[in-house]
Structure 1
Amino acid sequence: MKKNWEESGNFTKVRIQVMVSLSSLNITSAKQRSFKSSLALAKAFANRDTNSPPRSLLKKVEEFCDLLNEIGKDSVHMGKYRHDGEMLGDILYRIAKGYITSPDLRLAYLGKLAEVHTEANAHAEAALCRLHQAKLVAEFLMYKNALSYTDIVLPVIWNTCSPTLNEKEIAEEGCLREDGVCQGPEFSVMGLVGLLEQSLDHYKDAKMYETVNEVAKVLLPIYEKEVLFDNLAMTHKNIGNCFEELGRLTKSGKRLTASYFRVAFFGKKFGDLDGLEFVYKEKPATSLAEIAARFSDAYAKEFGEDFRLIQDSGTVDRSKIDELKAHVQVTYVEPYFEENDERPKASQLIRLSRFVFETPYTLSGKAHGSVDQQHKRKTVLTTESSFPHLKKRLMVVSRREIDLSPIEVSIEAIRNRNTQLRTAVEANPPNAKNLQIVLQGSVRLQVNAGPLEIARVFLSEESIGNFLDTQVQELKRAFQEFVNLCQRSLELNKELIASDQVEYHEDLMEGYRELRKILLPLLRADCKGADKLVSHISPKGLDLRQISESILSFVVGPQASGASPAVLDFLRS
């Protein structure tokens, strides 16, 4: 290393040679211990060198020896975790990252990681592995002047596919100058094309149609330059099919997205995992029961009677668990977006690094209570990177908690109901069955105790003064939209029903009229501003729409002016 450093200012050649040799070894636990001792000896020799080598060289030697030791440990663990997809994925990812100064080995281990993901039908992750391989090859070809269309290596092009592609795939260009590197068939223009095509196919299988289009933007200029007309035709056809399917899924509202779970590990039996928590990405529609059963089966085999599955999502008090046993806590989480997040829906499928789960509680200590006692804690988790990623699980690096008061919990409940109604009303084509399920849970009084109880508790004359005016107005606006959406839903349902459902529809209408009859007095509570209401009406003429808008402005705030005719009909009644 020292001689290589003196000749070229680095020891790239030695580093590549050592890494290639290491990759060919079948390292066992016993061999790894000997390997670790050899590395410690090399570090000791470097520090005892009587010729006073530069401090920068000593630091590089120590870092390189530490890196080799980590790669050696991970190589041993690969056999142990060959049946644990997430753990094996983590190991292969770390090894590939460790080989960043050896392009051939990095390419090879990214390929192995892609194969693991493909076998598990984790197509988004496999696509990213192929994309990282493609970027590595593109950097090599640009360095060798074998790629003339420079626009495909602009960071913005890769960043639209994934933020994980921001960093260079090759740590030092010096490693590209060494003899014998990057000699495989993948390090060619057609090799680059093949990797990009594999990535595109995986994104298509993952139903990430927007990203298919982004990868195609990298491929198409190459096809044009290389005069690959058949490839051009096929890729354009693929893009067309993807956008047709995307349009169909968007209109129907049936687009499924990945499921996410927080998994925390406790107990000394987990070793380095003890105390760590991760967010796991799973296939769409995976249930909490399904993933909990998977962990129970896997760890019960490994730990037997010493395994415990923690069922609730609350904070684990480590003083109350047996540290000698293995404990796993699994919680369903959802991607978290701020209220002012205006990203398009497509962007909400990628760059996901914050997740939330909710824990209901009351001040008395019980989890659930009456409407006026029900609190809720939102726990927002931030991961080390964003999904989709080369790994199926990402470590949680920070968390924050948001506590909601009972009225805030109720505001959110009505808004969530509004979202369900809006989704059912705006579905294209409309789905009568889904619409009626949401309607039945909204306007039938026997199943509608929730919204009505919320209105009685927080909007009655006796209680309305106990809450912040801003919160009261938010709740009123939510109820105003709720009534509006219920009427729109009933109008749509009337158009969709068959002759044998007329009686059922009338039953829903009767429930809506009763609901409206009970809600209206509560929405008009706190009438201290009646004189202000009268001042809104012109003495020269009583225009009904103007009166309705004035009433609406008084009841739920000035933001309601210009409300839809359905809401105005509600107020006229």
Structure 2
Amino acid sequence: MLFKDQNNICLNLTKDVLKHCSNPDNALRPKACAIFYLLLDQNYKITGDYEKMAVVSSVALSELLGKNVIADSRVLSNSLDSVRDYALEKLKKEGGGEKQAEALTRTLKKNSALLQYNQTISEVSSIDPELTTDLYEKISNAYLEAPDTRVQWIENMASYHISHKNYVEAALCKIHHAELIREYLQTYSPSAQDKNLPISTSHFASISPSVGKEPPLFPNLTESDTGDDDEISSRFQLASWSVMGLVELLVAAGKWLREATCYESALEVYSILEIIFKYTNNYTELLKILDVYRECVSTLLQEPARLIPKYFRVSYFGKKCGDLNKRGFIYRVGPGMSLHAFTAAIKGTFKGQVKGDSDFVIMPNKAVEDEGLDPEKIHLQIGGITVYHHTDAPTSSEFVQNHFCDQFLFEMSHQKTQKKKLIYTVERPFPYVKTRLEIVKMDEMILSPIEAAIENVNDRVKAIRTELSAAAPRMNTIQQILQGSVVPMVNEGPLKICADFLAPEVIDQFDPTHVAT
């Protein structure tokens, strides 16, 4: 049962044993090491390999590291070295084969690699959340051929997001994990019922468009490998590779999406659960999920307050920025984050590399020449940006305006009377499993004075229409929009626009499409 069946018994036992292998108590730790050795030894005697323990020890260790249960990874590393040395010495005395020794060394080496990853994470997790999630993603993708370990690091990332109240990102980690389970059920599961489960990638893409762009299970699998069903099935040791595991992930995703006020996405999750419960004839759970669905719709009809994110662009310059040098990113942050607080947070990620605030240079938003940079300072461009929409068509809700966004706009004056628009495109749409995405493209647009004026008027009209179309228009908001439109504090108002562009003596100077009545 421990080494042949697909269950979590061996995983839970290994998890407890490894936890005690990291215990500084010199009386307890050797006993835990002895039990871990016995598990390895019995695995080989029963199955002729270490595959089960290789998988469950990696997953168990990944979970312990993700939950910060291992206080001192050096103690655990020494324990694993002791187990390896003892096992190899015993094999040598008993005349064990060279292949067995290599397999044992390979199994324990994977655990040592995870400890090294964790050491890197522990150095940055408290000061650089974005780099931490980058590392989680990197580790997960390093185990594309070991799906149990891969999904455990996705779960670790979800837990990290929850601890930082990044509920949307946590939910999307669950969705990406769920998509991998769907792929397993329909491609590798021995059950015919699982293979016919009536859901597809498109169902999950309605919640996270990036799902279809992520690496599938076994992206490097060749045609010659597909015939070895036993070898492939041995890589799926966790009980969570099941319809029940899929349901648990979707329920968790729905919970965190509602916590983030993303009710529309939560409804998509509950629609998938409805399909699953109908297919499995689980009408008790179907009734429960329909109640949750109705509750979610009722909340939407009340037009609840939304947690609308803010976006900032950061570009890094200078040798002291390391791998970030000459790279730009878009950051998705909470609605209460100010530019001042965000700038302080970015500076904080360089803790230990700088002496003080004087080591930073905040630069204007223009082209940067390497020759003019002080090599002893960190140069940053930081600015607030807005979501860029391709058309002027009014969007249906705040949710639509701030969901599935991969382009962002920064505006600035240009030659006094013109406007420059910089449009940044990122590698994936927000929201994503990470709160920072790299800029992969930048487009520039220059608006003439009349085009800039037309855009300002259109923006005001759009804002007024959006507020008036709400089920319960907010009078204070409408008053602020109208006051800002008629008596603006920064740009000159509609009377000045009419005088400059619509006066009889100047109107013929402009493109008829710009001044049509």
The TM-score with structure 2 as length reference comes to: 0.71
The CA distance in 1 between the partners of 2:139 and 2:277, in whole Å, is: 33
Match of 1:308 in 2: 360
Question: What displacement does 1:227 show?
Answer: 4.5
Q: In the alignment, does 2:200 pair up with 1:154?
A: yes
The CA distance in 2 between the partners of 1:405 and 1:68, in whole Å, is: 61
- The equivalences for 1:465-480 within 5 A come to 465-473=508-516
Q: In the alignment, does 2:170 pair up with 1:170?
A: no
Query: In the comparison of the two structures, how many residue pairs are matched?
Result: 412
Q: In the alignment, does 2:320 pair up with 1:281?
A: no
Match of 1:410 in 2: 453
2:260/2:307 contact within 8 Å kept = no
Match of 2:443 in 1: 400
Match of 2:291 in 1: 237
1:16/1:102 contact within 8 Å kept = no
Structure 1 or 2, whichever has the larger Rg, is 1
- The answer to which structure, 1 or 2, has the higher relative contact order (CA under 8 A, 6+ apart) is 2
Match of 1:360 in 2: 413
2:182/2:200 contact within 8 Å kept = no
User: Kindly tell me: are residues 315 and 152 of structure 1, through their superposed partners in 2, closer, same or farther at Cα, counting changes over 3 Å?
Assistant: farther
Match of 1:127 in 2: 171
1:138/1:147 contact within 8 Å kept = no
User: Kindly tell me: are residues 447 and 111 of structure 1, through their superposed partners in 2, closer, same or farther at Cα, counting changes over 3 Å?
Assistant: closer
User: Kindly tell me: are residues 325 and 183 of structure 1, through their superposed partners in 2, closer, same or farther at Cα, counting changes over 3 Å?
Assistant: same
Match of 1:327 in 2: 379
- The equivalences for 1:475-554 within 5 A come to none
1:421/1:435 contact within 8 Å kept = yes
Name whichever of 230-239 and 69-78 sits farther off: 69-78
Match of 1:95 in 2: 139
Q: In the alignment, does 2:190 pair up with 1:145?
A: yes
1:147/1:189 contact within 8 Å kept = no
1:16/1:101 contact within 8 Å kept = no
Post-superposition Cα deviations, 1:103-133, rounded to whole Å, max 9, x if no partner, equal 1111111110111111111111111111122
The CA distance in 2 between the partners of 1:118 and 1:15, in whole Å, is: 32
The CA distance in 2 between the partners of 1:86 and 1:176, in whole Å, is: 39
Q: In the alignment, does 2:319 pair up with 1:268?
A: yes
The CA distance in 2 between the partners of 1:88 and 1:285, in whole Å, is: 22
1:135/1:169 contact within 8 Å kept = no
One-letter amino acid of the counterpart of residue 385, structure 2: V
Question: What displacement does 1:275 show?
Answer: 0.9
The CA distance in 2 between the partners of 1:206 and 1:214, in whole Å, is: 15
Computed over aligned residues only, the root mean square deviation of the Cα atoms, in angstroms, reads: 3.4
The CA distance in 1 between the partners of 2:501 and 2:145, in whole Å, is: 63
Q: Out of 496, 503, 506, which is 1:463 matched to?
A: 506
SS at match of 2:440: strand
Question: What displacement does 1:238 show?
Answer: 1.7
The CA distance in 1 between the partners of 2:229 and 2:338, in whole Å, is: 47
The CA distance in 2 between the partners of 1:315 and 1:425, in whole Å, is: 41
The CA distance in 2 between the partners of 1:427 and 1:121, in whole Å, is: 29
Match of 2:244 in 1: 190
The CA distance in 2 between the partners of 1:472 and 1:359, in whole Å, is: 24
2:174/2:252 contact within 8 Å kept = yes
2:56/2:237 contact within 8 Å kept = no
Post-superposition Cα deviations, 1:228-251, rounded to whole Å, max 9, x if no partner, equal 44432332122112222222227x
Q: Out of 60, 83, 104, which is 2:148 matched to?
A: 104
The CA distance in 1 between the partners of 2:501 and 2:409, in whole Å, is: 27
1:164/1:389 contact within 8 Å kept = yes
One-letter amino acid of the counterpart of residue 266, structure 1: F
One-letter amino acid of the counterpart of residue 405, structure 2: L
Question: What displacement does 1:447 show?
Answer: 9.6
The CA distance in 2 between the partners of 1:240 and 1:454, in whole Å, is: 49
Post-superposition Cα deviations, 1:504-548, rounded to whole Å, max 9, x if no partner, equal xxxxxxxxxxxxxxxxxxxxxxxxxxxxxxxxxxxxxxxxxxxxx
One-letter amino acid of the counterpart of residue 217, structure 2: I
The CA distance in 1 between the partners of 2:180 and 2:378, in whole Å, is: 40
Question: What displacement does 1:81 show?
Answer: 1.3
5+ residue gaps, structure 2, are 1-48, 63-71, 78-109
One-letter amino acid of the counterpart of residue 254, structure 2: L
User: Kindly tell me: are residues 181 and 202 of structure 1, through their superposed partners in 2, closer, same or farther at Cα, counting changes over 3 Å?
Assistant: same
One-letter amino acid of the counterpart of residue 121, structure 2: M
SS at match of 2:308: coil
5+ residue gaps, structure 1, are 1-12, 32-66, 363-372, 474-555, 557-573
The CA distance in 2 between the partners of 1:16 and 1:383, in whole Å, is: 40
One-letter amino acid of the counterpart of residue 336, structure 1: Y
